């Protein structure tokens, strides 16, 4: 069994749904859990549930969209338990409409909660994790961001932005043993009410995603992984790069050789954004070397 005894984990949006299941399972693995929700009563109910089962929990009500509230929440956790080892950025909302009909205020609101909410929480815990030389952070991304979903341009944009945040924070946190990953859950929460048959909703119970959170919170966790989970099944998604071609400077050459450009044979997962540039320079260098040989 993965033992998280002595670890303090903050779970946002944990008053119900996925966050509640994450909090309960983390506690069963020995973690002390800070249960965050905008609704104080909901957060307290989950914290009480954990303590009734013999675990340790602290209810911390705050809106992740407000940096001052997040900092106050983190300060309270540290005052109570002295450290924060893990952060699960789970809080989120939906404001679904097609892009043509979507009000920009709803676009900004979803970005503020999902993206900036995660930024605020990461910013507040980052110096603590640096100082203690240990941290585990999980962003909640989505298939809507990875692959798109009709009527969710705001949600999809926010969720894919979290992947980009993960990629860079994982690189910057490596020297401090701060490992940063994403989970892309498929679960029957209030967000899916009325959208799927009852049998599918039963299979997609949120509790069947939470083992992935525990796996990403363990001391031996990976970093820069996008873990997709639902109905007890788990897979990894990757942002890959094809080998590509060197075009002769004309758009027509790109179009004529499009199948080569998009050929996924021997595709790779770059270690950083700079790897893309190095691949492109390697193509150009190969051309120069070949020209010199002639």
Q: Does any domain span residue 71?
A: yes
- Cα 26 from Cα 178, distance rounded (Å): 18
User: 229 with 281, same domain?
Assistant: no
User: 14 with 60, same domain?
Assistant: yes
**Which CATH number do you get for residue 131?**
3.40.50.720
- Cα 126 from Cα 217, distance rounded (Å): 16
Decide if 33 contacts 54 (C-beta within 8 A). no
Q: Does any domain span residue 162?
A: yes
Q: Does any domain span residue 75?
A: yes
User: 80 with 185, same domain?
Assistant: yes
Specify the pLDDT at position 195: 66
Q: Does any domain span residue 246?
A: no
User: 80 with 182, same domain?
Assistant: yes
User: 232 with 261, same domain?
Assistant: no
Specify the pLDDT at position 263: 98
Q: Which domain holds residue 226?
A: 8-237
User: 122 with 226, same domain?
Assistant: yes
User: 209 with 287, same domain?
Assistant: no
Specify the pLDDT at position 294: 47
Decide if 115 contacts 122 (C-beta within 8 A). no
The model carries a pTM of: 0.94
User: 97 with 171, same domain?
Assistant: yes
Tokens describing residue 153? 């341009």
Q: How confident is the model at residue 259 (pLDDT cuts 50, 70, 90)?
A: very high
User: 230 with 258, same domain?
Assistant: no
Over the stretch 89-139, which tens digit does the pLDDT of each residue have?
999 999 999 999 999 999 999 999 999 999 999 999 999 999 999 999 999
Which residue did the predictor score with more confidence, 194 or 15? 15
User: 255 with 227, same domain?
Assistant: no
Segment 11-38 shows an average pLDDT of: 98
181 bridge partner residues? 138
Percent of the chain at pLDDT above 70? 95
Over the stretch 30-60, which tens digit does the pLDDT of each residue have?
999 999 999 999 999 999 999 999 999 999 9
Over the stretch 183-237, which tens digit does the pLDDT of each residue have?
999 998 765 566 677 888 889 999 999 999 999 999 999 999 999 999 999 999 9
Q: Does any domain span residue 245?
A: no
- Cα 289 from Cα 294, distance rounded (Å): 9
DSSP secondary structure, 132-186, as one string = HT-EEEEEE--HHHHT--TTBHHHHHHHHHHHHHHHHHHHHHGGGTEEEEEEEEE
- Cα 270 from Cα 277, distance rounded (Å): 10
User: 214 with 261, same domain?
Assistant: no
Q: How many domains does the chain have?
A: 2
Which secondary-structure segment (H or E) carries 22? helix 17-28
Cβ within 8 Å of residue 213, ≥6 positions away? 22, 25, 26, 88, 138, 183
Catalytic residues: 155
DSSP 8-state code for residue 97: B
Segment 158-179 shows an average pLDDT of: 98
User: 171 with 284, same domain?
Assistant: no
Q: Does any domain span residue 284?
A: yes
Q: Does any domain span residue 242?
A: no
Of 212, 237, 262, the residue that ends a domain is: 237
Q: Which of 156-170, 200-214, 261-275, 276-290 has the least mean pLDDT?
A: 276-290
- Cα 7 from Cα 24, distance rounded (Å): 14
Q: How many CB atoms lie within 10 A of CB 6?
A: 11
- Cα 30 from Cα 77, distance rounded (Å): 17
Q: Does any domain span residue 1?
A: no
Specify the pLDDT at position 163: 98
């Amino acid at each position: 069994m993965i033992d998280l005894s002595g670890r303090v984990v903050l779970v946002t949006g944990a008053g119900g749904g996925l966050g509640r299941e994450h909090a309960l399972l983390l506690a069963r693995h020995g973690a002390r859990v800070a249960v965050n929700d905008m609704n104080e009563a909901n957060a307290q109910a989950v914290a009480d549930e954990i303590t009734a089962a013999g675990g340790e929990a602290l209810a911390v009500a705050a809106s992740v969209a407000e940096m001052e509230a997040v900092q106050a929440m983190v300060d309270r956790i540290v005052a109570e338990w002295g450290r924060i080892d893990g952060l699960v950025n789970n809080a989120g909302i939906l404001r679904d409409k097609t892009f043509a009909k979507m009000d920009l205020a709803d676009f900004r609101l979803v970005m503020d909660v999902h993206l900036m909410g995660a930024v605020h929480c990461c910013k507040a815990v980052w110096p603590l994790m640096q100082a203690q030389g240990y941290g585990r952070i999980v962003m909640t991304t989505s298939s809507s961001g990875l692959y798109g979903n009709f009527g969710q341009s705001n949600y999809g944009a926010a969720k894919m932005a979290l992947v980009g945040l993960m990629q860079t924070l994982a690189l910057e946190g490596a020297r401090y043993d701060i490992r940063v990953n994403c989970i892309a859950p498929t679960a029957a929460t209030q967000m899916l009410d009325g959208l799927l048959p009852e049998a599918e909703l039963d299979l997609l119970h949120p509790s069947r995603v939470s083992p992935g959170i525990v796996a990403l919170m363990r001391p031996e966790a990976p970093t820069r992984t996008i873990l997709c989970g639902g109905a007890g099944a788990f897979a990894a998604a990757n942002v890959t790069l094809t080998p590509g071609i060197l075009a002769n400077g004309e758009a027509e050459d790109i179009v004529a050789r499009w199948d080569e450009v998009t050929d996924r044979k021997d595709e790779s997962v770059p270690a950083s954004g700079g790897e893309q540039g190095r691949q492109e320079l390697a193509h150009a260098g190969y051309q120069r070397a070949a020209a010199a040989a002639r």
